[in-house]
Amino acid sequence: MITSGDLRNGVTFEMDNVVWQIDEFQHVKPGKGAAFVRTKIKNVITGATVERSFNPTDKMPKARIDRRDMQYLYSDDDLYYFMDVETYDQMPISAETIGDALKFVKENDVCKILSFKGNVFGIEPPIFVELEVTETEPGFKGDTATGAVKPATVETGAMVKVPLFINIGDKIRIDTRTEEYMERA
């Protein structure tokens, strides 16, 4: 069981026969009355987000989310195929379940497959990926405005904002959580 004091970003718990994950939390101590925790929680199966407050006495059972490393193999129509890196078993996952989680993932990259009681509900791509820029406007010599960015397309087809000095063919490192350019690779 977890109490409201244990609520942090990423914690999963069961409430009303649904698995919820904390997206944001804030401990609030009003001038009058008891303290409470204000949260934004996401239903891990449907993706719906709800705001909810919890009292300090509230207790919920912790949900056990299984995270397995699986290698992304290929896609075929609306199915994406993954292989367990330990047993070599292949598993098809629907495009509806994946959403845009594979935006920065190439074939043969290893992802974490998230499941609850055997039902796959999501995918965590690697936190940092190195991709080649396939399309962007050329940078101009002397164009050094601080913080200036331009759009670039990477080899997976995703768009990302990059600094002006990045050119076609450059390898860049991207943070998949924020979908932002980090550095040259």
Q: 66-124 architecture in CATH?
A: Beta Barrel (2.40)
CA dihedral 137, 166, 174, 47 (to 10 degrees): -20
CA dihedral 103, 109, 114, 119 (to 10 degrees): 90
Cβ contacts of 154 within 8 Å, gap of 6 or more: 104, 131, 132, 133, 134, 160, 172, 174
pLDDT, tens digit, for every residue of 101-126? 889 999 999 999 988 888 888 888 99
Distance CA 43, CA 109 (A): 27
Percent share of the chain, pLDDT over 70 = 96
3-class secondary-structure state, position 131: strand
140 — pLDDT class (breaks 50, 70, 90): low
Distance CA 178, CA 128 (A): 10
Q: Looking at residue 145, what is its pLDDT?
A: 60
Q: Looking at residue 142, what is its pLDDT?
A: 59
Q: What is the CATH number of domain 128-184?
A: 2.40.50.140
pLDDT, tens digit, for every residue of 67-92? 899 999 999 888 999 999 899 999 99
CB–CB of 101/124 below 8 Å? yes
Q: Looking at residue 81, what is its pLDDT?
A: 94
CB–CB of 42/49 below 8 Å? yes
Distances (CA, A) of 72 to 64, 107, 131, 142, 155: 24, 6, 16, 42, 16
Prediction pTM value = 0.72
Q: Looking at residue 4, what is its pLDDT?
A: 78
First-to-last alpha carbon distance for the chain, in angstroms, is 43
Domain boundaries of the chain, sorted by first residue = 2-60, 66-124, 128-184
Distance CA 83, CA 105 (A): 15
Could you please state the CATH topology (level 3) that the domain comprising 2-60 is classified under: SH3 type barrels. (2.30.30)
Stretch among 46-50, 130-134, 159-163 having the lowest mean pLDDT: 46-50
Residue 28 has pLDDT above 90, yes or no: no
Q: 60: how many CB neighbours lie within 10 A of its CB?
A: 19
pLDDT, tens digit, for every residue of 154-179? 999 999 999 888 889 999 999 988 88
